[in-house]
Amino acid sequence: MKTRNRVALAMTTGVTAVGLALAAPAAQADIAAAYHPVVAHSVSAPLQAQGTWHTIWQSKFKPRHSKWVSQPFGVHDGVISLSVKYQCWNGGDGTKMTVKLIDTHNLNKTVKKSRAYCNGAWHAFQTEDVTPSTRYKIVTQQDHGRTHTEQVGVYEED
């Protein structure tokens, strides 16, 4: 009896792993396309080089407390701007979320911040005040009530 259960469990695990392996690349491509910040570039100067956006990190989570702080991260050489895109959801209780980009080398100076309602809509801010030798972190803060699911992404343009 135990052998039969073990074989059934092994087969179920194998089928699930194969299904996830086949679906993961397509799902990741959909996620990357959905989080990519939209940036308008001028078309009046055809020889002007347009920047390319790269994801530094992105995450979807439900924080345990109203405040969440990311691990420090850096930007690559040649980066001209940094974009932070975020959203959060609520149950109609009017919660607002503040997102800050913090410079960890300069006494935790706030480089840029944004505040918006947790209504499921995407919000973003962009700054050109970044340097490759500096470490940054993101701080999110919900203003009241129980915590709501958040989604945050950081992107660099070179």
Return the minimum-mean-pLDDT range out of 35-44, 63-72, 142-151: 35-44
Mean pLDDT computed over every residue of the chain = 75
| pLDDT higher than threshold 90 for residue 16 | no
- Residue pair 83/37 in contact (Cβ under 8 Å)? The answer is yes
Mean pLDDT of 37-58: 54
Task: Residue count of the chain, please give it.
Answer: 158
Residue 36 has what pLDDT? 42
- CA proximity to 150, closest of 126, 119, 110: 119
- Model confidence over 62-87: pLDDT tens digits? 887 888 999 999 998 888 899 999 99
Least confident residue range of 27-31, 87-91, 110-114, 138-142: 27-31
Give the pLDDT of residue 123. Answer: 94
pTM of the complete model: 0.65
Helix (H, G, I), strand (E, B) or coil at 118: coil
Strands 96-103, 135-142: pairing kind: antiparallel
Q: What is the pLDDT of residues 100-140, one digit of tens each?
A: 999 998 888 999 999 999 888 999 999 999 988 899 999 99
